């Protein structure tokens, strides 16, 4: 098991299994985003969608563990990530403007290009 992943049960052929794994992972990712408040659609339905995601991850009556099994993910690991998202929101995948790793490198490049254009004018 690596990062909460384990081998899904081989219930289908290779292509069918791959499609089922992709579908299950997409469902889990979508519900993690819903839980974190990244909801597209009408504002009036956002609370319900977020609450439905919360119930899906944490209710013993949901089919959450079956979907994790189909996705090849450890349910305990996914549920722990869901708890973190519920408590802290979705993690930022991108640095704020002007603070990324490559910001200074791109800034120097743009300045160099402007200097070249000034010399060639």
pLDDT digits (tens, 9 = 90+) for 28-77: 999 999 999 888 778 778 889 999 999 999 999 999 999 999 999 999 99
List the domain range (segments joined by +) for residue 62. 14-95
Burial of 86 (0-12, 13-18, 19+ CB in 10 A): middle
Q: Considering the domain boundaries, does residue 107 fall inside one?
A: no
Structural domain includes residue 22: yes
Asked if residue 104 belongs to a domain, the reply is no
pTM of the shown model: 0.66
* Domain assignment of residue 113, yes or no: no
Total count of domains within the chain: 1
Per the domain annotation, does 18 fall within a domain?
Answer: yes
Contacts of 85 (CB under 8 A, 6+ apart): 32, 35, 36, 91
């Amino acid at each position: 098991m690596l990062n909460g992943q384990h081998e899904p049960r081989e219930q289908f052929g290779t292509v069918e299994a791959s499609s089922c794994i992709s579908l299950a992972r997409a469902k889990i990712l979508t519900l993690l985003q819903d839980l974190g408040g990244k909801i597209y659609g009408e504002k009036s339905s956002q609370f319900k969608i977020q609450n439905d995601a919360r119930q899906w991850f944490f209710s013993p009556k949901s089919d959450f563990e079956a979907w994790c099994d189909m996705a090849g993910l450890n349910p305990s690991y996914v549920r722990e990530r869901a708890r973190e998202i519920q408590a802290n929101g979705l993690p930022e995948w991108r640095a704020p403007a002007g603070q990324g790793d490559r910001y200074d490198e791109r800034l120097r490049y743009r300045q160099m290009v402007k200097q070249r254009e000034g010399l060639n004018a």
